[in-house]
Amino acid sequence: MGKGDKMSWGGSNRLQTSAYGSINPDIDSERKAPSFDVEKLTNLLDGGADRTRIRRSAEHVINSDAVFSRENQYFLTQIERYEAAVKKAVHLRQKMKELGWTDDGPEIQSAFGALGGDVAFAVHNGVFMPTITGLGTDAQIAKWVPLAQDYQIIGTYAQTELGHGTYLRGLETTATFDTSSQEFVLNTPKASSIKWWPGDLGRSANHAVVLAQLYTLGKCHGMHAFIVQIRSLVDHSVLPGVKIGDIGPKMAFEQIDNGYLIMQNVHIPRENMLCRYSEVTPDGSYIKQGSDRINYISMVCTRARILSKELVPALSKACVIAIRYSVVRRQSELKPGEMEAKILDYQTQQQKLLPQLATTFAFHFMASTLEAFCNQVNVQIKTKGDISSLPELHALSAGLKALLSEICSAGVEVCRRACGGHGYSMLSGLPSLYTRVVASCTYEGENTVMQLQTARFLMKCLTRVDCGQPLPQSVSYLSDPISLHCSAKEKTDYLKPFIYTEAYKHRAQRLITNAGIELQSLLQSGVEQYDAWNSTSVQQARAAIAHCQYIVVKNFVETLEGLKHEPEIQRVLKMLCDLYALTGILVDAGDFLHDGYMTGRQLDLMTACQLDLLALLRKDAVSIVDAFDYPDQQLTSAIGNYDGHAYERLFEWAQKAPTNAKVNLAYEKYLKTRFQSAQSKL
Amino acid sequence: MGKGDKMSWGGSNRLQTSAYGSINPDIDSERKAPSFDVEKLTNLLDGGADRTRIRRSAEHVINSDAVFSRENQYFLTQIERYEAAVKKAVHLRQKMKELGWTDDGPEIQSAFGALGGDVAFAVHNGVFMPTITGLGTDAQIAKWVPLAQDYQIIGTYAQTELGHGTYLRGLETTATFDTSSQEFVLNTPKASSIKWWPGDLGRSANHAVVLAQLYTLGKCHGMHAFIVQIRSLVDHSVLPGVKIGDIGPKMAFEQIDNGYLIMQNVHIPRENMLCRYSEVTPDGSYIKQGSDRINYISMVCTRARILSKELVPALSKACVIAIRYSVVRRQSELKPGEMEAKILDYQTQQQKLLPQLATTFAFHFMASTLEAFCNQVNVQIKTKGDISSLPELHALSAGLKALLSEICSAGVEVCRRACGGHGYSMLSGLPSLYTRVVASCTYEGENTVMQLQTARFLMKCLTRVDCGQPLPQSVSYLSDPISLHCSAKEKTDYLKPFIYTEAYKHRAQRLITNAGIELQSLLQSGVEQYDAWNSTSVQQARAAIAHCQYIVVKNFVETLEGLKHEPEIQRVLKMLCDLYALTGILVDAGDFLHDGYMTGRQLDLMTACQLDLLALLRKDAVSIVDAFDYPDQQLTSAIGNYDGHAYERLFEWAQKAPTNAKVNLAYEKYLKTRFQSAQSKL
């Protein structure tokens, strides 16, 4: 957008001359002597130097191609954003062929990262095709997937309805088998059953995997998936019996045509039911073959991937923008008589931003661990049909998705507001980071529902503890003895990981145990199960959150232990780990004081320790965010570029706004004659 | 937008038949037997039945006039929103003349409320004119104000610069007096001094009150205000030496042309400096006459009015929408075998929404009290020149603006997310409530800066306590003895206002005293004042927040005491007051446990008490939000209308989205031939 963006600016390893002549000296001075090797930290975050190379090369493909430019994105209408996203998707498919990138290779993942989600057909690629692969027979896969891969058909995944989201059993769309015609007849019988939200549906898709209640021979067999053609392949017209439209403007995702779908007696052949696990025979009999629970793993892994694909990138970008801006922005005299201070030198600004930076690292490592767990369970299932780890993985991914999406959304917003008025301008890049990331609190399972699913798992684990049965690894601590008091005596004790890890563990143990006791006591007093659950659900949700917070801290500490051979990197990460853990305790101080595990005096020492960490980390803050290695094009922020020329770029970008077009109809129509009448009076 | 909106739907007193045939039975049943008189509560919120009548009549003027329609607002571009806003502003001025509404009468205030801020010239009316009136001589007022009132000139207020916001002394724009020409010469000498953000500037204004450093005879005299013509009255062209533009897209306020202004040697006559309090004589001498601190009151009152004009309306509308939707939306079986439950019947949903409802009332009463205090100080100043209450009023309005804007923003977002996917649709009305209200955390003084200003006042008060000097009323509690323990013994004790008020008081006393001790101890150990302040600023900000939270709770309790003659209304408000106070303690539990003022056991009882309140208030929730008496047009929400037809209206509105226009260029350009090639393969 600005002149600077035409160059491949970004992380510490891709420096070129700034389009504004030089690096802003206020940001340049911050990079004089980082206390660690920035490139090494980048490599660590990428998972090795090789992965860094691959990522940079893929990013270069995207950032050097005009079709993929996000220039002017803040100035486009919803329709223009959609058109650009379709163009990019088709162009990317072409590029992939040329470059020999595979659908599951690291290059395309990096490319998607570089595109910032600004590309069409995410549901087609990410859900429509995988559903066919997961639930279809080999013949169905052979028929549909090649066409889909080549974008000769575009499919959507139509599950959510106007009146039903997370609660799948409540879906009202029906697919009724008609033995005479050997067809399924699909219907959305009322307003609340209109399919609502599916991506790629409103304007692009000509096919849909529709989730519907299967009826055959007068009996309902529950939710099944059907491939339904919805638009003509010849002229894209909507097929008879089908109504489709766009659901209108949303908080973000302007580029996606989330749509609605109404079906009135839409007939599809019997073969279009995805029937790897269940089938309707020509005579209308329903046959179940094997369990589709195996397929459940893909839904769980999709949820887990949100952490690394959406949450961590959003928070890390917000940190980059806000921290760079905070060393360029000066405000008020800190020391009388001196020039105005960089706002990052104010303790209040450090207190806002540096814990977000620490959180980014905590969540990055958590996302890696969760993905590794997903892969492990996937292998167990695929190779041995062993689904025994699925409940643990489900509980963990549900709870972590809920926790991390809440905290990342809040964190991005903290970063945005910390940039004052400029953080309110779309050109800062921060508003759209927020409006996009916050959607993750709702999609792939609403957060409160997710927390309560984790809580149900925890309650089951408690029962196992009572029966002396072994527990899955992530919850094994529930059978550990509960320590009574935090053993920290002086300020530096709070820099000992076992001190704070133990505190998180204690809190989780206490809240989970108490939720269990409360539930049992209601049941024993004769309250019905559903009522007892509802009456303790606020407490249950809190317990689930405490569990996940413990897991995140423990995981950060364990990750650090694995970095003993990189003491310099470990040192800076250790500060971030300490800051993350201590901030979390101070924010929820009541939880740790409640039963006297900690005292007010201990928390005062911990506060002092946390403030010390802020002052220490402040020195390396710019170098740490440089290590995220985002090229400027991926930040799409006028105030967060590597060269620190925030004001110049804001000014340059603003002038391109369509609101600066010459014609001003409002003046012509409503103001001109009024103003002219003042001419003689002044 | 929907058919329903063509009728004057809304609050309990304006019922008509629903455009969808009938009221949704799920919401209808909620209104069967409210435990209080809804109209009485409406009257109380309005400040009397007469005010209710005036408000409804003014709202009717707006809602029955097609020019003011907000129909389709979610579908318009930034330019279209701006044009509509100018049209509305001009039309409103005309209406005011016809109806005899005065600029400071109650009708126009209600009309602005009904317009939801979707009208141009807010800065012209709210800042440009009042600044001339406040800082101008009688002659200046006589010259400029009549033209401005008639929109023959439109003015903006150009204070904020690209590089300077809240810290006024740092502004870099200069106005240098040239004795030879008897003119001031205005300059924005570098990028960071470009005027940035002024409303009505980008496309509308032909004049600006510019804040600039005054230089005369080589000496700087600090910030002064100058009237500068910036566009031609004849053809609206930008005048020589001036550059103007729109600053581009923002998180909200699409209808406002926030702009930038560059001045290079712009000459204005000597008479254009606003000189009620200071003047430059023809020979270049600078003369100060009286103190402009008197004028400071208007800035403070503007900040105070944000509470009632922006914050409370945003949170109350979000509550109306989310609570109505939560009795229409059904999800999951609560009781096995029964139909899916209304989501408001889930404890977790009550825990999200009902405290927001309680907060709305707490803040409504706080806003009223603060405005009364403003008026009182205004009278003191105008009649006796007595500015002795100004520091207290400033500290209170700064701290309350910061506290309430944070909590209202967070509360609106809680309501939005509680509506799941539909809360993410712009058509729900919730996203735009959030993106608008959250701006208040930044404008009229960034919140952290505001908190620290309150903290400075509190620290001064502490010094007075040490010297035995009397304290202003709102902080007099600082000289009260500190109680050591909460005296509550059983659950019902937490329904006693003195129990929770005392707890808030104790917390504020402790945090403020500790912040003072910490500051003093640093100073006594030889740390410099600026450094000591910065090192304790996180703690200072917390102390200021605790002070304001105490004020809000105390004010709610005192308001209730004044309602003894309305026992029925008092009863429902008492529940809301209890819920507000208890929720606040539970959220910040650590503050109350820290020094042993409360025990974990006491907090457990309080939690039980709070959950009981949720269940009680749930029964009246819909009637309580009905009492806010918003006509449907003012909610502009597809899911929050009085008749409860959320799904029908969402569907109806979505179809009007411009994305549903027939032509699909993306298909024509990028997909058509691909799709056609699949035709033969399926």
Task: Tell me how crowded residue A203 is: count the other CB atoms within 10 A of its CB.
Answer: 28
Residue type, B32: K
What are the angstrom distances between the C-alpha of A122 and each of A201, A228, A575, B97, B470?
A: 11, 19, 38, 55, 66
Write the DSSP string, A153-171.
Answer: S-EEEE--BTTBSS-GGG-
pLDDT in tens, A425-466: 999 999 999 999 999 999 999 999 999 999 999 999 999 999
User: Cβ(B586)–Cβ(B504) under 8 Å?
Assistant: no
Q: Report CA dihedral (A257, A263, A266, A269) to the nearest 10 degrees.
A: 60
Grouping H, G, I as helix, E, B as strand and the rest as coil, residue B666 is: helix
pLDDT band at A662 (very low <50, low <70, confident <90, very high): confident
Task: Identify the CA nearest to A637 among candidates A328, A305, A255, A360.
Answer: A328
CB contacts of B251 in chain A (<8 Å) are: 424-426, 431
A275 is a domain residue: yes
Q: pLDDT tens digit string along B517-538?
A: 999 999 999 999 999 999 999 9
Please give the DSSP secondary-structure letter assigned to residue A681: G
Given the residues A172, A444, A648, A652, the one annotated as active site: A444
Catalytic residues of B: 444
Helix (H) or strand (E) segment spanning residue A557: helix A537-561
CATH number at residue B272: 2.40.110.10
pLDDT, averaged across chain B:
95
Assess whether pLDDT exceeds 90 at residue A23: yes
**Mean pLDDT of all residues in B17-29:** 88
* Per-residue pLDDT, A14: 53
Question: Domain for residue A624, yes or no?
Answer: no
Structure tokens at A377: 């369970």
Q: Tens of pLDDT along A203-261?
A: 999 999 999 999 999 999 999 999 999 999 999 999 999 999 999 999 999 999 999 99
Flag whether pLDDT at B543 surpasses 50. yes
- Residue B92 domain-assigned? no
Structurally, chain A folds into a number of domains equal to: 1
- Answer whether residue A160 is part of any domain: yes
Residue A2 has pLDDT above 70, yes or no: no
pLDDT in tens, A272-318: 999 999 999 999 999 998 777 777 888 899 999 999 999 999 999 99
Is the pLDDT score of B424 beyond 70?
Answer: yes
Query: Is the pLDDT score of A503 beyond 60?
Result: yes
The C-alpha of A602 sits at a distance from chain B's nearest C-alpha, in angstroms, of 10
pLDDT of residue A519: 98
Distance from CA of B594 to the nearest CA of A (A): 5
Rounded distance, CA B72 to CA B656, Å? 8
In 3D, which of A18, A607, A217 has the Cα closest to residue B538?
A: A607
Per residue in B595-642, pLDDT (tens digit) is 999 999 999 999 999 999 999 999 999 999 999 999 999 999 999 999
Give the integer Cα–Cα distance in Å for A331 and B117.
31
With an 8 Å Cβ cutoff, are B152 and A424 in contact? no
Determine contact: A245 vs chain B, CB below 8 A: yes
- The dihedral built from the CA positions of residue A573, A579, A581 and A584, taken in this order, carries a sign that is negative
* Per-residue three-class SS string for B456-471: HHHHHHHHHHHCCCCC
Residue type, B525: S
Q: Is the dihedral of CA A355, A359, A360, A361 positive or negative?
A: positive
B231 bridge partner residues: B238
Q: Give the largest Cα separation in chain A, rounded.
A: 94
Mean pLDDT computed over B167-193:
95
Q: Which residues contact A316 (CB under 8 A, 6 or more apart)?
A: A360, A364, A625, A628, A630
**From the list B152, B349, B675, which residue is nearest A674 (CB)?**
B152
Distance from CA of A44 to the nearest CA of B (A): 33
- Helix/strand/coil (H/E/C) assignment for every residue in B302-346: HHHHHHHHHHHHHHHHHHHHHHHHHHHCECCCCCCCCCCCEHHHC
Is the predicted pLDDT of residue A13 greater than 60, yes or no? no
Which of A6-10, A352-356, B393-397, B549-553 has the least mean pLDDT? A6-10
The answer to whether the CB atoms of A163 and B330 lie below 8 A apart is yes
Cβ-count burial A489-508 (b if 16+ within 10 Å, e if not): eeeebbbebebbbbbbbbbb
The burial class, CB within 10 Å (0-12 / 13-18 / 19+), for A629 is buried
Q: Is residue A54 part of a domain?
A: no
> What distances in angstroms separate CA B247 from CA A460, A466, B682, one per listed residue?
56, 64, 52
Q: B547-578, pLDDT tens digit by residue? A: 999 999 999 999 999 998 889 999 999 999 99
Q: Binning pLDDT at 50, 70 and 90, where does residue B290 land?
A: confident
Contacts of B118 by beta carbon, 8 Å cutoff, 6+ apart: B70, B73, B81, B84, B85, B88, B255
In a domain, A658, yes or no: no
Put simply, the answer to whether A426 touches B251 (Cβ < 8 Å) is: yes
Would you mind telling me the total number of residues written for chain B in this entry? Answer: 682
Instruction: Return the percentage of chain A with pLDDT > 90, whole number.
Output: 90
E-strand ranges in B111-170 read 155-158
Contacts of B665 in chain A (CB under 8 A): 83
| CA-closest candidate to residue B9, choices B619, B618, B649, B652 | B649
* Residues of chain A contacting B657 with CB distance shorter than 8 Å: 245-249
For residue A108, is pLDDT > 50? yes
Chain A CB within 8 Å of residue B666 CB: yes
Residues spanned by the domain of B148 = 129-289
Which element (helix H / strand E) includes A348? helix A347-384
Under a CB-based contact definition with an 8 Å cutoff, are residues B394 and B412 in contact? no
Distance CA B580, CA A377 (A): 46
Q: Which of A338, A353, A538 to mutate to test the interface with B (most CBs of B within 10 A)?
A: A538
Residue A74 CA to residue A2 CA, distance in Å, equals 13
Interface of B with A in 598-627 (CB under 8 A): 600, 603, 611
Is the per-residue pLDDT at B9 higher than 50? Answer: no
pLDDT attached to residue B291: 74
Give A59-109 as a DSSP string.
HHHHHT-GGG--TTGGG--HHHHHHHHHHHHHHHHHHHHHHT--TTSHHHH
Instruction: Write out the H or E segment, with its range, that includes residue B506.
Output: helix B497-524
Instruction: Please provide the DSSP assignment of A612-661 as one string.
Output: HHHHHHHHHHHHHHHTT---HHHH--SS--TT--HHHHHHHHHTT-GGG-
Window B:416-445, CB contacts with A under 8 Å? 417, 420-421, 423-427, 431, 435, 438-439, 441-443
Strand partners, B174: B187, B213
Whether the Cβ atoms of residue B643 and residue B4 lie closer than 8 Å to each other: yes
The pLDDT of residue B17 is 54
CA distance A465 to chain B (A): 25
Radius of gyration, CA atoms only, chain B: 28
> What pLDDT was estimated at residue A1?
45
Distant-in-sequence, close-in-space partners of A525: CB < 8 Å, separation ≥ 6: none
In one-letter notation, the amino acid at residue B288 is: K
Strand order in the sheet with A242-246: A195-196, A259-263, A242-246
Q: What is the ipTM of this complex?
A: 0.97
Residues 6+ apart with CB under 8 A from B520: none
Q: How far apart are CA A191 and CA B421, in angstroms?
A: 16
Whether A255 is covered by a domain: the verdict is yes
pLDDT at A17 over 80: no
Cβ contact B332–A431 (<8 Å): no
- pLDDT recorded at residue B14: 53
| Domain-located, residue A85 | no
Going B627 to B633 to B636 to B641, the CA torsion angle's sign is positive
Three-class SS of residue A260?
strand
Residues B106, B618: Cα–Cα separation, whole Å: 33
